[in-house]
Amino acid sequence: MTKSRMAAFGAAAARTAEGSRLAEIRHGVRWRRWGPYLSERQWGTVREDYSENGDAWGYFPHDHARSRAYRWGEDGIGGFGDDQLLLCLGLALWNGRDPILKERLFGLTNAEGNHGEDVKELYYYLDGTPTRGGDEPESELIDTGVFDDNRYFDVEIEYAKADVDDILMQVTVHNRAAEAAALHVLPQLWARNTWSWKPNSMRP
């Protein structure tokens, strides 16, 4: 691409809403203050390991996640948050039967699963859908046949910004089964627990 065509391309990109926002960032407008910074899995990570033997997975498995405060981060389904993760937005789901809300992706400890740090869920980022190599394909959840009868929900979570601090979360749920089924959808906003670790810090 010639320099003149690159300049024309750059000028055209700057005229888009995204291009304008990128230009505003260079001038101090905090468009990146909120974003998809909330991870899918904080439980079982070495950052949250205070065990005597360095066994992060055994010390903080998925089953503990709903009852313990994290120190260094948070996790959630389709999560969004500020760049310090002081305020987090995520989704909880409940089918009316399980004993707990589904607030984070399910996974096994390193010794329980066939792939240590792999959560046992099926999810995609639509702007970066996964591909699969043909040399040694890893066995995935979709290969087990549990989706063959379409007895599942598709949950689409979208975020959009109207302004730096004006954010829309849209959740669309598709029941792929032939019969009706209930699913409770609970958007949640919560504060990351920083007060338990810092003396004289304020609780929100």
Predicted confidence (pLDDT) per residue in 160-186, tens digit: 999 999 999 999 999 999 999 999 999
Full-prediction pTM beyond 0.85?
no
User: What CA–CA distance (Å, rounded) separates 165 from 168?
Assistant: 10
Q: Where are the beta strands (DSSP E) in the chain?
A: 34-35, 77-82, 87-94, 153-163, 166-175, 184-191
- The per-residue pLDDT for 128 is 45
Mean pLDDT of 51-70: 88
| Residues 171 and 157: beta-carbon distance below 8 Å | yes
pLDDT of 99 above 50: yes
Which of 27-36, 130-139, 192-201 has the highest average model confidence (pLDDT)? 27-36
CA gap 48, 55 in Å, rounded: 10
pLDDT at 6: 56
Give the pLDDT confidence score for residue 129 in this predicted structure: 45
